[in-house]
Structure 1
Amino acid sequence: MTLEEIFSSKGRVKVLKVVLRRGEANLSTIIRETGLNYISVIKHLNYLKHYDIIEEINLGRVRVYRPKWVNPRVRYIEEILRTLGEV
């Protein structure tokens, strides 16, 4: 996975920014703050989970998504977005 692949989708970047800015977010929060529909958000979350950018935590019936900080790429991505004033 390259930075181009991560940043190639505006929707994916929106989802990632919400998760990075909040530290963790549930599905409803991500949908509300990105303005994307359920299917799009799930697609982007699955992509980001597949590449270990975010992780899913089950808290009872609620799924919470948060950055996977053990992956050094996540810190680089956050630094890029923070430098650009996006997070």
Structure 2
Amino acid sequence: MAITNAINHEMKEKFAIEHVFQSRGRIKILKILATEGELNISEIARKAHINHNSTRHHLNFLVKANILQEKTFGRIRIYRFRIENTKVRAIKNLFDIWENSNL
């Protein structure tokens, strides 16, 4: 039981909100997917102006954090928000509100 609690605590720490929004690259990726919907890694990298390896690193983190879903079609990987997750909906709503406000 103590081991399970320690693992759960470690996972919560690793995927805490400050880690999700830790880098500009990750924020750019989230913003792009919030507005574009589903994209492959090359499109995400191009739109975010981030190299392919960094993009893949950020996407892997966001998939492990249960924020993004990865769908594979042969060699093509498509990424999208895991919108059924309440926290993910809140993140998407934040970007939608931020982009559509008149501030």
Superimposed CA distance per residue, residues 18-69 of structure 1 (whole angstroms, 9 cap, x where no aligned partner): 1221110001100110000011101100110011000110112211011111
The structure 1 segments of at least 4 consecutive aligned residues displaced by more than 6 Å after TM superposition are none
Number of residue pairs aligned between Structure 1 and Structure 2: 86
Contact 2:34-2:95 at 8 Å conserved across structures = no
Moved more, 29-38 or 2-11: 2-11
User: Distance between the aligned counterparts of 2:74 and 2:52, measured in 1?
Assistant: 20
SS of residue matched to 1:66: strand
5+ residue gaps, structure 2? 1-14
Residue identity (%): 36
User: Distance between the aligned counterparts of 2:62 and 2:55, measured in 1?
Assistant: 11
Q: Give the aligned CA root-mean-square deviation in angstroms.
A: 1.3
User: Distance between the aligned counterparts of 2:76 and 2:22, measured in 1?
Assistant: 29
Per chain length, whose mean CA-contact separation is higher, i.e. which structure has more relative contact order (CA < 8 Å, sep 6+)? 1
Instruction: Give the number of the structure whose residues are more often helix, by fraction.
Output: 2
Q: Which has the larger radius of gyration?
A: 2
Query: Structure 1 residue 8 and structure 2 residue 7: aligned?
Result: no
SS of residue matched to 2:60: helix
Query: Structure 1 residue 25 and structure 2 residue 39: aligned?
Result: yes
Q: What is the TM-score of this pair, normalised by structure 2?
A: 0.77
